[in-house]
Amino acid sequence: MRSISVYTLLLMGLMFVIDHVQAAETPKLRIICFGAHPDDAEYKSGGTAALWAEQGHHVKLVSVTNGDIGHWKMAGGELAQRRTAESAEVAKRLGVTSQVLDIHDGELLPTLENRRTITRLIREWDADIVIAHRPWDYHPDHRYVGVLVQDAAFMVTVPFFCPDTPPLKKNPVFLYSSDNFKKPYPFDADIAVGLDDVFEKKVNALLALESQTFEGGALGSAEKTAKSPPASQPELRKAWLRERWERRQGGEADRFRAALVQWYGPEKGKQIRYAEAFEICEYGRQPTAAEIRVLFPFFTEPEKTGESR
């Protein structure tokens, strides 16, 4: 009886060690995505965020302004509260976290105070990956989010900058989300993520951005709002929005097909219908192909792609 008891205890101890070793070998990633307004990070990174979240990784979507002039009919605190609630609902549907900073829409500047704010947010999230706009764009808020995140890319590791928040021990990988701007150089997709498995989830999440998706945001009008399906017809409304995002994410997949083939292999890469794409910022950590596969754990195994980096 004694030998059975000892054997059982040894087996239990071994299983405990194995479980903890496996847990230590597969730490959960922490990703923070910055957008200028309470829809930008959702639009640009929402699908990839959902993929990370489905695997248990931790994603935070941050709007650096409160979006309080982003509508043709309403503005101020009422709109800021509405858009904050919309962003929170999108995050809930994607399985991620959200935060909206209280900075006026259209008034963001690359100040030292704002650099500190961005640095603290990245440190507090203990980020492995940071995503933001590129620093050239039609909208000044978009540009300055890119500048602020670039400016934080080194400072997040400097101990005596914002000493009230512990510095990161390892610099994250900083990524740009995709855009269509050509100067000073076009967006270059180092990474493309297939969204086919979460495309419906992203569309369902974006339905919550009513002020932007169905009312047109700052460039809307009563006439434009009237042309979109009413809330009383939810299925028609979803189909209307889905058709628009099929074009948008389908266009991303076609435009960045080479990157999809690189990371998913020729067979799967050519079949992906919807995608989001990212460019690696040269100011943060420069990942190898193997490291990218750890950071994007939904890619096809490397022996099937033959990519190099």
pLDDT of residue 2: 45
Q: What is the DSSP string of the chain?
A: -HHHHHHHHHHHHHHHHHHHHHHHHSPPPEEEEEESSTTHHHHHHHHHHHHHHHTT-EEEEEESS--TT-SSS--THHHHHHHHHHHHHHHHHHT-EEEE----TT-----HHHHHHHHHHHHHHT-SEEEE--S--SSHHHHHHHHHHHHHHHHTT-TTSSTTSPPPSSPPEEEEEP----SS-----SEEEE-TTTHHHHHHHHTT-HHHHTT-GGG--HHHHHHSPPTT-HHHHHHHHHHHHHHHHHHHHHHTHHHHHHHH-HHHHTT---EEEEEE-TTS----HHHHHHHSTTSPPGGGT----
Q: Is residue 18 part of a domain?
A: no
Q: How confident is the model at residue 301 (pLDDT cuts 50, 70, 90)?
A: confident
pLDDT of residue 1: 40
Strand order in the sheet with 191-194: 97-100, 58-63, 30-35, 129-132, 173-177, 275-280, 191-194
Q: Indicate which CATH number applies to the domain containing 157.
A: 3.40.50.10320
Q: Is residue 149 part of a domain?
A: yes
pLDDT of residue 5: 54
pLDDT of residue 302: 64
pLDDT of residue 166: 97
Does the structure show a pLDDT above 90 at 14? no
Q: Which domain holds residue 163?
A: 28-304
Instruction: Tally the domains of the chain.
Output: 1
Q: How confident is the model at residue 26 (pLDDT cuts 50, 70, 90)?
A: confident
Q: Is residue 20 part of a domain?
A: no
Please write the tens of the pLDDT for every residue from 36-65: 999 999 999 999 999 999 999 999 999 999
Does the structure show a pLDDT above 80 at 303? no
pTM: 0.90
Please write the tens of the pLDDT for every residue from 60-80: 999 999 999 999 999 999 999
Give mean pLDDT, residues 18-47.
84
- The lowest-confidence range among 1-10, 114-123, 230-239 is 1-10
Does the structure show a pLDDT above 80 at 7? no
Q: How confident is the model at residue 269 (pLDDT cuts 50, 70, 90)?
A: very high
Percent residues over pLDDT 90 in the chain: 88
Give mean pLDDT, residues 116-135.
98
Does the structure show a pLDDT above 70 at 307? no
Q: Is residue 2 part of a domain?
A: no
Please write the tens of the pLDDT for every residue from 276-294: 999 999 999 999 999 999 9
Q: Is residue 277 part of a domain?
A: yes
Q: Is residue 1 part of a domain?
A: no
Please write the tens of the pLDDT for every residue from 209-228: 999 999 999 999 999 899 99
pLDDT of residue 11: 52
Q: Is residue 12 part of a domain?
A: no
Q: Is residue 6 part of a domain?
A: no
Q: How confident is the model at residue 300 (pLDDT cuts 50, 70, 90)?
A: confident
Please write the tens of the pLDDT for every residue from 155-208: 999 999 999 999 999 999 999 999 999 999 999 999 999 999 999 999 999 999
